Each structure stands twice: as C-alpha cells, then as structure tokens.
Structure 1
Amino acid sequence: MTDIILDKTQSKRIPDNKVQVSHEDNHLRRADLNLLTVFDAVMQLQNITRAARMLGMSQPAVSNAVSRLKNMFSDELFVRSGRGIEPTARAHQLYGPIRQALQLVTNELPGLCFDPQTSRRQFAITISSPLDLLLAPKILGVLKQHSRSVTLNIGSLISDNIENQLRYQELEFVIDYRSIDRADYYNQKLFEDELVLISSNNHPRIQQQASQSYYFKEKHAVVRLNGPSSFSFPYYNKPETHKRVCYQGASLFSVMEIVSQTEMIAVVPKWLSQQSAERLNLKIDRLPWINNKITSYLSWHESASKDKGHLWMKELLMQNISLP
C-alpha cells in the first residue's frame, strides 16, 4: 500500500513519490555537518594541533577536515600565521551563525551534562576597563579552584560590535558599567561603585575639602567620550559639562597619571583611587553634588541561556564578583 502525505494547503492526498524535494534540502543532505564542529574548534583555538587535542582527533584528520571545509564554503577559511593559523574574513563571517546553530542543537540533546572537571571548553569574556583590573585576577583564581581543564580568555576592549559578539557566542559574557537594553539580552547587576573626585596633592586651589564650586570651575580629565563604553560619558554628555573637559585619555589609568602631574581633576571609582593615591600623590574627595554611584552589570544573550556550560560559568561569576 502506498503511503500518502496530506498537503493541507490543497486538501489533497499526495503520494509520497510525488513529493518535491527542494534544491536546498538536497544540498544540505550532501553536506557533512560533522565538519562544522571541527570548524568551531579551529576558530576558537586557531591552531590545528590544539583543535585536534580538544576534539580527540589526530592532527591529520583535523587538517583533512579543514581542507573539506574549504571546498564546502569555496574559501580558504584559514591561512598560516606564525605557528598558528589566522581565519579569513569569510571564516569570521561564518563563525557566529555556525557557533549559534551548533549550540542550539547541543542544548536539545538528551542527557547532556557539563562537567567542569573534565570539560576542555574555552570561554571568552570581555571586562571593560577599569573593572578588568579589579575582577580579572579574582575570576581567574576562582576558576583555577573549580576547574583545571576549562580555560577563560579575558579581553578589555568593548567594541561597537559587542552585541553581535554576544548574540553569536563569540563572547559568552561582558562585564561593563552599562547594560544592554535590548529584549533578547539579559543584564545582572553585580555591585555599585562609589565615585570620588581626585586631584593632585599639589593642586594650588584644592588644599582642603573640594567643593561643588571647584568641581564646576576646574579643568577635567576624562576617559575618551566617543567610545562605545565610555566610563565618563554620562557625566559629561551635556554642553555645560562637556566644555570643562581638557583631556580625554584612553583609560582611567592615563587620566589619573595626567591629574597627578597637572591642575586637572577627575571622577574615578573609589577603589581605584585608593589603589593609586599613594603612588601618584593624589587627593581623594567625596562627590555629594552628583549621582556618585555607578552600577556594574554582567550581560549575555538569550541564545546561550540553556547552555549548561554557560549556566555554570554564570553562577561562578555571580557568586564571586564583588567589591574588595
């Protein structure tokens, strides 16, 4: 007896030997999707030998898989660079969607678990400056206590493409002084920093307690205001405050150095000023006339919210991040 399929749009019974298979379906069936896991590993590690070790494959087998990937996507994908390899522009373009697709499939596999004691997973996180100075050593220390095989790559540059990096899981998390206010992103408050005013101990006009009048009259040093995650922007984004800015540094460290050697003043987190006050001969004053609290956030994209490894790392971060 011939099996039949009901075409609901036409309300007719169509024999299965008449069903049309699209060109896209045929093309997908011919593709070896196992190669995508090799692509993901090589993109993460950018080294054939390390990728083979992570995948439990031989180096020649991974090299052969990379050659087949080149044919599949009609692109070189990787070129030699020193002792490793460097992805092409096409590889970077493919990485996000492929990584997201693999993660979606992995999340639905029954019985899947994440064991931090045996996993060789590599996580990537960006911590904006100056929070990287405060948090990165502590996070790496805690990770070492909980897993010897999981690795964590930490960067401090918040790029204009940070939302897509999270969406396509090129990054798992970002820690920053701003939240990502989009419906498909999650933001967890970590802690509040207290902001203080710093000046040189040799400043000729601020010998005693700094006042509001000094704050609005003196020249200010700030972190560059046009960056995607400027620490200073919320405090200097109006014409009347922007005109006080005389120096824009790449980081708060360069800002503090300038303040220590000039008559400029700056707004910085209290913990950072306390770490640097003695070395740089800085004076620290409270800031009661502005909103002197700033919140730090842990942010991630919803596409990773069911990933067991991601959940483990999120809990590790949230339980161990705090002000000193």
Structure 2
Amino acid sequence: MRHLARFDLNLLRIFDAIFARGGVSAAARHLNLSQPAISHALAKLRDTFDDPLFVRQGNRLVPTPAARAIAGPVREALRGLDVALDAATSFDPAEATREFRIGVRLSGEMPRFSSLVARVRSEAPHVALASVTFRRRDLVMTLANGDLDLALDVGLPADDRLRSQYLGTEPIVVAARKGHPRVDGAIDLDTYLSLEHIIATARPYGPGLEDMALERMGLVRRVAVRCQHAITAWQIVASSDMLFALPRSHAEVLDAMWPMQLVELPLPVEQSGSYLYWHQAAQADPGLAWLRAIIVEELGATGKSFA
C-alpha cells in the first residue's frame, strides 16, 4: 500500500474481521455485510498487497505471513481511530449504552467485581460490563485491538504501549475453621508451620507468596492440597484442620457466606500490589477516563486485590 490517500480504509476493517474470525462468512456476520461484499473487498486487499493474505485450510481461512505481519499494526490503527472518534464527543454516563470489557484474572473476579458493577451501574444504568479473563503475554494486543478496554492485574514488565495506575496492596490473612483445635483468634509461626496448607491457583506448579517468604527465612510449610479456586479451598478448610492464606478482600467475601476464623499471617510477605492497565491509544477516550476514575476510587484506596 503506497498511496494512503487512494486507499479505502474500510478495507482494513474487513481485513481485521477476516483475520479475527477466520472466514468470509463469519466476517460478514460480524460486520453486518453480505458475503459477496466481503469477498469483493478481500479481492481488493489481495490486489493492493500483492499477496493472497488468506489461504483456505479446511473450513478456515489461514493468514499468510504477510497478513500476520500487518495484523497487529492494523488493529492498533483501527483502535486509534475509534478512540479519536469517541474523544470528539462528550461522554454522558446517564445516557451511555456502550459495553466496557475489563480484563480480570479468574482469581480476582470474586472479591471486588460485584461492587464495581454496582457503582458503575448507579451512574451509568444503560452500560454493559464484561469481566474477561486474559493471558498476560497477550495483554498489549488485546488492549490494542479493543478485545479489552482496561485490565486489572499485578505489576507487569514495563511496556511503552501501556499506561498504568497503581492501586495499592492489601494484607494476606489466614483462614481456619471455627473450633479449630490449634487456632483461636491468632496463630504463631510455629503453629502455622506445623499444620497443613491449601493453595488456590490456576497455575499447575510453583510456590505461593507465602512459600517464597518462608524460603527466604530458610523455612518450608507442607502444602497438602492444591486447587484452582478460592471457593474450593474455603470448602476444604471448613471441614478440615488445614489453613488457607488469601488476600483480605477475598476472605471477607467468602466469610460473609461461610464464616471462618480470619487471623493475621505470622510472617512478612512482599506483594507486588494491584495495577490498572490501558493502552496508550485509549488515553483520550472520555468513557474510559470516566471508568478509570471510578476504578481508582473504588479499588485504589485500600488496594483491593485482583491478582
């Protein structure tokens, strides 16, 4: 593409739809266009780039190396255009009907997303909110192409394409069942180490923050159970003498449904804290600026964890 002034920018929308959805029919449905219109646009794109761009493989159109090379820049450019158009108009929460997609790790959705929904909907009753899981290695791309508007996560490596806002940290507490024979409102390190523990994480291997802190002290605890969700760990704690360490906000939500003893963790743990992320191309988006301010106000004061 050598002459942008003579290039139909609508073709880039069609290229992006075919790339994302793997076919002409799916792209046509997404863009609410006819299949012949998409096929005609694809022919123009192929002629412009002097490359087939997509080749058929089974029921899908698979991108060529040339298509993969331009897919990222095309998505970022389209995202930038959308933001520029949005920025040209004011954002009225009371009248807005747009959808906001917030990247939240699975383990972090439970403690604070419901309160965020309540706050947002109180000011913008017609907007839609989506909590979306994501892979950290794809975060820049998903924010650039609009699959996510914002993301909440721990501290990540610096990237010039991302903007971030530090939300703070919160303490870790230890949950034990009521009537535990060795825990009664508090726990010391010796008792903590003598009991068995549960880890709740989506990672199949690796230590928890507590294990890394203990290793620095030359100590180790016995992890008897590893599960994927805090609710599962909470259920196990309720019917055993095992302990479960988790951020305070997570524990408070679960404790309201199924009361436990919540005691202070008897060792220092270094936490990276929680951050709010967005793509630099979305910096001027008035709707996202409004939502970022709400998130910082709701979650930033006490560092509610989304890790």
Q: Give the deviation of 1:218 after TM superposition.
A: 2.0
Match 1:33 to one of 9, 31, 50: 9
Q: Structure 2: which 5+ residue stretches go unaligned? A: 47-52
Mapped to 1, the partners of 2:176 and 2:41 lie a distance apart of 58
Q: Counterpart of 1:211?
A: 188
Match for 1:172 among 146, 149, 157?
149
CA separation in 2, counterparts of 1:126 and 1:321?
Answer: 15
Deviation at 1:159, TM superposition (A): 4.4
Aligned mates of 2:278, 2:114 — CA distance in 1: 21
Residue of structure 1 in register with 2:209 after alignment: 234
SS at match of 1:299: strand
What residue is the counterpart of 2:267 in the other structure? 289
- Relative distance call for 1:122 and 1:252 in structure 2 (3 A) is same
Matched, 1:315 2:293: yes
Residues 123 and 277 of structure 1, relative CA distance in 2, 3 Å threshold: closer
Q: Distance in 1 between matches of 2:10 and 2:293?
A: 31
Q: Deviations over 1:237-277 (max 9, x none)?
A: 36556653222221222222222222321111223323333
Using the TM superposition, give the Cα deviation of residue 285 of structure 1 relative to its aligned residue in structure 2, in angstroms. Answer: 1.0
Q: How many angstroms does 1:188 deviate by?
A: 1.4
Q: Which amino acid aligns with 2:209?
A: P
Identity %: 19
Distance 2:181 2:7 in 1: 73
Q: How many residues align?
A: 281
The 3-state SS of whatever aligns with 1:180 is: coil
Q: Which amino acid aligns with 2:163?
A: Y
Q: Which amino acid aligns with 2:121?
A: K
Q: CA deviation at 1:219?
A: 1.9
Aligned twin of 1:84:
none
Match status 1:224 vs 2:224: no
Q: Which residue, 233, 254, 263 being the options, matches 1:255?
A: 233
Shift of 1:109: 6.5
Q: Of residues 164, 167, 189 in structure 1, which corresponds to 2:166?
A: 189
Comparing 288-297 with 206-215, which one deviates more in the overlay? 288-297
Q: Contact between 1:193 and 1:294, CA under 8 Å: does it hold in 2?
A: no
2:54 paired residue number:
75
Measured against aligned partners, the alpha-carbon deviations of 1:188-238 in whole angstroms (never above 9, x if no partner) come to: 12243222111223433334631111122222211237479x9x7332236
Residues 1:170 and 1:208: Cα distance change in structure 2 (over 3 Å): closer
- State the one-letter code of the partner of 1:271: S
- Give secondary structure in 1 for the equivalent of 2:171: strand
CA distance in 1 between partners of 2:159 and 2:204 (Å): 23
| Cα separation, 1, equivalents of 2:115 and 2:101 | 16
Match of 1:7 in 2: none
Q: 1:235 to 1:225 in 2, by over 3 A?
A: farther
For the residues of structure 2 that align with 1:155 and 1:223, how far apart are their CA atoms?
20
Distance 1:166 1:243 in 2: 39
CA contact (8 A) 2:151 2:278 kept: yes
The normalised TM-score by structure 1 is: 0.67
Mark the CA change 1:180 to 1:195 in structure 2 (over 3 Å): closer, same or farther.
Answer: same
Aligned runs of 1:6-85 on 2, under 5 Å? 24-25=1-2, 31-37=7-13, 59=32, 61=33, 63-71=35-43, 72=45, 74-75=53-54
2:117 to 140, 144, 150: 140
Name the SS of the counterpart of 1:263 in structure 2.
coil
TM-score (normalizing by structure 2): 0.70
Contact 1:179 1:297 in 2 (8 A): yes
Aligned to 1:9: none
2:249 partner SS = helix
SS at structure 1 position matched to 2:265: coil
Alignment CA distance shift 1:284-1:292 (3 Å):
farther
**What do the CA deviations read for 1:33-82 (whole angstroms, capped 9, x no partner)?**
113346668969x7866x56xxxxxx4x46554334443364389x99xx
Equivalent residue letter for 1:67: S
| Structure 1 residues 65 and 152, CA gap change in structure 2 (3 angstroms) | farther
